[in-house]
Amino acid sequence: MTVTIFLGALLGPMALGVPIAFALILSGVALMLYLGMFDAQIVAQNVLNGADSFPLMAVPFFLLAGEVMNTGGLSRRIVALAMAMVGHIRGGLGFVAIFAACILSSLSGSAVADAAALGALLLPMMLKSGHNPARAGGLLASASVIGPIIPPSIGFILYGVVGGVSITKLFLAGIFPGLMIAGALCITWLLVARNEQFELPPRESGAVRLKAFVDSFWALMLPVIIIVGLKFGVFTPTEAGVVAAVYSLFVSMVIYRELPPAQLFHVFVSAAKITAVVMFLVACAAVSAWLITVADVPGALAALVEPLMDNQTALLVAIMVLIVVVGTAMDMTPTILIMTPVLMPIIKQAGIDPVYFGVLFIINNSIGLITPPVGTVLNVICGVSKLSMEDLMKGVMPFMIAELIVLFLLVMFPELVTVPVSWFGH
């Protein structure tokens, strides 16, 4: 009954168009009334406590870094480097998109920011070369979801804060699975684009490639600084956000000189608006998370999946299917905030490594960004490409299947996550 009331109070208002943040508070209030312990002061206190977290300070700084990256020329130089290196290969613009997505993901940690950058910079070039519009848009959308997987990742920060898991370990654990998804997208692109007729850009000379590398050097140094700094304990993930923001501002304003001081105000306002949305969701989710614990919703859910508790693989498959379904109706941030406090006790009870589960969880949520009707990345690419959602869905389907296959492999073979993270780890 507790689970029914929680889900009804959460999904009912959402179906009526109530913003997710307020639906989270309503679900918490509904549980309080059911338990006979309603107190407005408890609601307010949990909202304040939800946002009062030192690791969460990384979120606004990484979001600011993403905004600066797109405005200050870092994204454009990364794409130019990818073009110079692999643009001449058959289907090269697709490989450029995947290559650029991997590097951009290590700069911003946001799939939406990467989708906006890739869509604006690469989609017109792919269409001009003769690529199928839906297929090109589908590849760009699918490549963008690498953003929350390769560090730094806002998704990992939220999961780590809510679940009490080391964010540094999560960052390092996401590197190899993110590269696996990139490899799967390359193979899929080779298969789906092999019969297309399109113009190939000319092969660039060594001098042009060297110039592209030199131009993008300062942008490429940011992920190196972050990963090396985290591995050797130079700074925490929160401090890494500050480093990323300050570094991207310095490069954009002093070295590349593409971000004039007059534009700074607009960049900060844009980052602040996105931060406000994310942080308000986190604060409101703290209410429902506290009530979830008090009402023992995880215990009720654990009783439902008790037959699977002795089989970690079967349990993970069931949870992954559940998250895929949830991802079609809910955006990434609220899914993390709602599902983490529910699933974490079950994961620990089943003896599953929370870091390993976190990688699967965030990958699954990232794929949810390209599943309709709420797929945020799909909506971004639709806006840039002027494609209909129906056409874009046809284009994204083979790439989404490839990403789900990678997720399945990670579930079946945990060593694909645990072994590489032992190499990166301390």
Q: Alpha helix locations (H) across 164-255?
A: 167-173, 175-192, 206-231, 237-250
Q: How large a percentage of the chain has pLDDT more than 90?
A: 20
Are 414 and 273 in a shared domain?
yes
- Tokens for 123? 């989609």
Q: How large a percentage of the chain has pLDDT more than 70?
A: 96
Of 78, 85, 121, 126, nearest to 100 (Cα)?
A: 78
Stretch among 79-83, 95-99, 115-119, 421-425 having the lowest mean pLDDT: 421-425
- Determine, yes or no, domain membership for 20: yes
119: phi then psi, degrees, rounded to nearest 5: -65, -45
- Determine, yes or no, domain membership for 43: no
What is the biggest distance separating any 2 CA atoms in the chain, rounded to whole angstroms? 73
Q: Give the domain extent around 28.
A: 1-38
| Full-model pTM | 0.82
Q: Please count the other Cβ atoms lying within 10 Å of the Cβ belonging to residue 10.
A: 23
**What is the reported pLDDT for 315?**
92
**What is the reported pLDDT for 326?**
82
Report the mean per-residue pLDDT for the chain: 84
Distance CA(340)–CA(161), nearest Å, equals 10
Distance CA(9)–CA(318), nearest Å, equals 24
DSSP-derived 3-state class of residue 172: helix
Distance CA(361)–CA(37), nearest Å, equals 33
Are 34 and 135 in a shared domain?
no
**What is the reported pLDDT for 362?**
94
Mean pLDDT of 219-237: 83
Are 12 and 103 in a shared domain?
no
- Determine, yes or no, domain membership for 274: yes
Of 18, 41, 14, 17, nearest to 290 (Cα)?
A: 41
Mean pLDDT of 382-390: 80
Distance CA(386)–CA(395), nearest Å, equals 14
| Band (374; pLDDT cuts 50, 70, 90) | low
Are 221 and 170 in a shared domain?
yes
Are 27 and 163 in a shared domain?
no
- Tokens for 310? 């002795």
Distance CA(97)–CA(122), nearest Å, equals 7
One-letter identity of residue 133: P
- Determine, yes or no, domain membership for 49: no
Are 204 and 303 in a shared domain?
yes
Of 277, 275, 284, 426, nearest to 355 (Cα)?
A: 426
What does each C-alpha distance from 147 to 1, 60, 127, 259, 295 come to in angstroms? 38, 16, 23, 23, 35
Q: Please count the other Cβ atoms lying within 10 Å of the Cβ belonging to residue 233.
A: 9
| Band (356; pLDDT cuts 50, 70, 90) | very high
**What is the reported pLDDT for 38?**
80
- Determine, yes or no, domain membership for 392: yes
- Determine, yes or no, domain membership for 1: yes
**What is the reported pLDDT for 91?**
67
How many structural domains are present in the chain?
2
Q: Alpha helix locations (H) across 295-387?
A: 297-304, 312-327, 332-349, 354-367, 376-385
**What is the reported pLDDT for 407?**
95
Q: Please count the other Cβ atoms lying within 10 Å of the Cβ belonging to residue 390.
A: 9
| Band (197; pLDDT cuts 50, 70, 90) | low
- Determine, yes or no, domain membership for 46: no
What does each C-alpha distance from 25 to 82, 111, 299, 375 come to in angstroms? 45, 27, 21, 23
Are 19 and 109 in a shared domain?
no
Are 169 and 136 in a shared domain?
yes
Would you say the C-alpha torsion 60, 179, 424, 347 has a positive or negative sign?
positive
